[in-house]
Amino acid sequence: MHCTRKITDDLTWIGASDRKLSLFEAVYPVPKGISYNSYLLNDEKTVLFDTVDKAVCDQFIDNLRFALGGRKLDYVVVHHMEPDHSATLGVVLAMFPEAAVVTSAKANTMIAQFMYPLPPERVRIVKEGDTLETGKHTFSFIAAPMVHWPEVIMSYDSTDRILFTADAFGTFGAPNGAVFADEVDFMGDHLDEARRYYCNIVGKYGAQVQAVLKKAAALDIAMICPLHGFVWRSGIDSIIAKYDLWSRYETEEKGVLIAYTSVYGNTQSAAELAAAKLREKGITVTMYDASVTHTSYIVAEAFRFSHVIFATTTYNNGIFIKMEELLHDLAAHNFSRKTVGIIENGSWAPAAGKLIRAMLGQCKDITVLDEQVTIKSAMKPEDEAVLDAMTGKIAEEM
């Protein structure tokens, strides 16, 4: 049975959601599901904008048939060849042998890699500035390399002023019947998952996101249609402002993220004391046990807050494995422009602090506070003075 939503008179959302998937991209937990958006334009020509993940193929095909209403398919625009949007492309091309693929040269290479080479008469390669006329509508194409793969293009419908943004402006979480962001309390209920999606999927590529935002600023945009999550038709400036902040690695909120690992609870006690001292100074604090909480949530909070305290044990003469994983993940996502405090523990040879400093040395614009707390097994009264100095320094900066 079809399940579609009208976006405009000519454009129909024909995507689907997956709530069975536990790890998106085999990495990211999606406890509230994930949506794969696809859109069909019914103009003089019919145009399909991207396909979906193979997990939701049956629903998507029902939707596509319904939205076409018996018409043939003329074009498939492939904005992004990652299989969550292209795994069903082969099914569509087999169903509609006259449909031509409109895509970038790099994506066409990937089509051959993931599937098989398309015959030249079935492909129309486009680059930035090229246009596609479909009757009433004219689409122009915009290169968006590394948002999130190198082959990505966006397209802009100058007739209805719609920007199709591929992964950009997506979010984790199934929309549960909604299609527009203004049908839900996006900033209250979905911003955290949108941030987690952005930071973990394209967070590394802030410069490339900035480049695309500059191109988008030159367009008159009435609607944003991403490949995951919600369509934006109002409040567009608010989500663009978030993307601008995140891609510049600017602080979104003054406050402290405390990420800790603790084998027997003593490092956690030190982290809790740090949190209490910061709260007494009126500072916002959020805390995560990095052994328990998936790294993707902590990476997103690290993008959000101005300060981070890492509290961890020394393990095998290194950094405790779960903290080391978190630090690797942060560095891989361009963790930058933060002030960092360190609490290290080590019962006989504390080394985690020095090693964390070395790892953060690979990151841009990270200030590590000199006031480093070193615990031997459990916190002692003399250690508290250093913790006071560290939290005092953070309070001064707020």
Q: Which is nearer to ligand FEO, 37 or 108 (CB)?
A: 37
Does residue 307 interact with ligand FEO by CB under 6 A?
A: no
Under rule CB under 6 A, which residues in 115-174 are in contact with ligand FEO?
148-149, 167
Name the segment binding ligand FEO (CB under 6 A); options: 82-90, 184-192, 235-243, 366-374: 82-90
Structure tokens at 34: 């994930």
Q: Which is nearer to ligand FEO, 80 or 322 (CB)?
A: 80
Does residue 79 interact with ligand FEO by CB under 6 A?
A: no
* C-alpha span between 304 and 252 (Å, rounded): 5
Angle between helical axes of 236-247 and 206-217 (0-180°, round to 10): 150
* C-alpha span between 61 and 84 (Å, rounded): 15
What is the closest distance, in whole angstroms, from the C-beta atom of residue 83 to ligand FEO in the complex? Answer: 8
Does residue 80 interact with ligand FEO by CB under 6 A?
A: yes
33 conformational bin, left if phi > 0, alpha if psi -120 to 50, beta if neither? left
Name the segment binding ligand FEO (CB under 6 A); options: 40-48, 60-68, 76-84, 307-315: 76-84
Q: Which is nearer to ligand FEO, 84 or 344 (CB)?
A: 84
What is the closest distance, in whole angstroms, from the C-beta atom of residue 66 to ligand FEO in the complex? Answer: 24
Q: What is the number of helices (H) and of strands (E) in the chain? A: 12, 23
Q: Which is nearer to ligand FEO, 148 or 277 (CB)?
A: 148
Q: Which is nearer to ligand FEO, 78 or 323 (CB)?
A: 78
Task: Tell me whether residue 296 is exposed, middle or buried, using C-beta atoms within 10 angstroms of its C-beta: 0 to 12, 13 to 18, 19 or more.
Answer: buried
Q: Which is nearer to ligand FEO, 85 or 277 (CB)?
A: 85
Does residue 84 interact with ligand FEO by CB under 6 A?
A: yes
Under rule CB under 6 A, which residues in 323-352 are in contact with ligand FEO?
none
Task: Tell me whether residue 243 is exposed, middle or buried, using C-beta atoms within 10 angstroms of its C-beta: 0 to 12, 13 to 18, 19 or more.
Answer: buried
Q: Choose among 94, 88, 90: nearest CA to 57.
A: 88
Name the segment binding ligand FEO (CB under 6 A); options: 79-87, 104-112, 238-246, 341-349: 79-87
Structure tokens at 278: 């910061």
Q: Choose among 16, 20, 22: nearest CA to 3.
A: 16
- 22, 114, 126, 170, 203 from 118: Cα distances, Å: 33, 11, 15, 29, 33
What is the closest distance, in whole angstroms, from the C-beta atom of residue 211 to ligand FEO in the complex? Answer: 17
Under rule CB under 6 A, which residues in 352-371 are in contact with ligand FEO?
none
Name the segment binding ligand FEO (CB under 6 A); options: 80-88, 113-121, 128-136, 173-181: 80-88
Q: Which is nearer to ligand FEO, 82 or 329 (CB)?
A: 82
Length of the chain: 398
The mark string for 196-235 relative to ligand FEO (x by CB under 6 A, - otherwise) is: -------------------------------xx-------
Q: Which of 79, 85, 195, 322 binds ligand FEO (CB under 6 A)?
A: 85
- 194, 221, 236, 240, 364 from 217: Cα distances, Å: 21, 9, 12, 10, 27
What is the closest distance, in whole angstroms, from the C-beta atom of residue 347 to ligand FEO in the complex? Answer: 44
The H-or-E segment that residue 340 falls in is strand 338-345
Task: Tell me whether residue 365 is exposed, middle or buried, using C-beta atoms within 10 angstroms of its C-beta: 0 to 12, 13 to 18, 19 or more.
Answer: exposed
Q: Choose among 15, 279, 317: nearest CA to 170.
A: 15
Under rule CB under 6 A, which residues in 225-284 are in contact with ligand FEO?
227-228
Task: Tell me whether residue 391 is exposed, middle or buried, using C-beta atoms within 10 angstroms of its C-beta: 0 to 12, 13 to 18, 19 or more.
Answer: buried
Q: Which is nearer to ligand FEO, 227 or 390 (CB)?
A: 227
Q: Between vectors from CA 206 to CA 200 and to CA 207, what angle results, nearest 5°?
A: 155
The residue at minimum Cβ distance from ligand FEO is 82
Q: Which is nearer to ligand FEO, 18 or 167 (CB)?
A: 167
Structure tokens at 228: 């995951």
SS3 77: strand
What is the closest distance, in whole angstroms, from the C-beta atom of residue 141 to ligand FEO in the complex? Answer: 18
What is the closest distance, in whole angstroms, from the C-beta atom of residue 80 to ligand FEO in the complex? Answer: 6
Q: Which of 50, 82, 157, 301 binds ligand FEO (CB under 6 A)?
A: 82
Binding residues (CB under 6 A) for ligand FEO: these are 80, 82, 84-85, 148-149, 167, 227-228
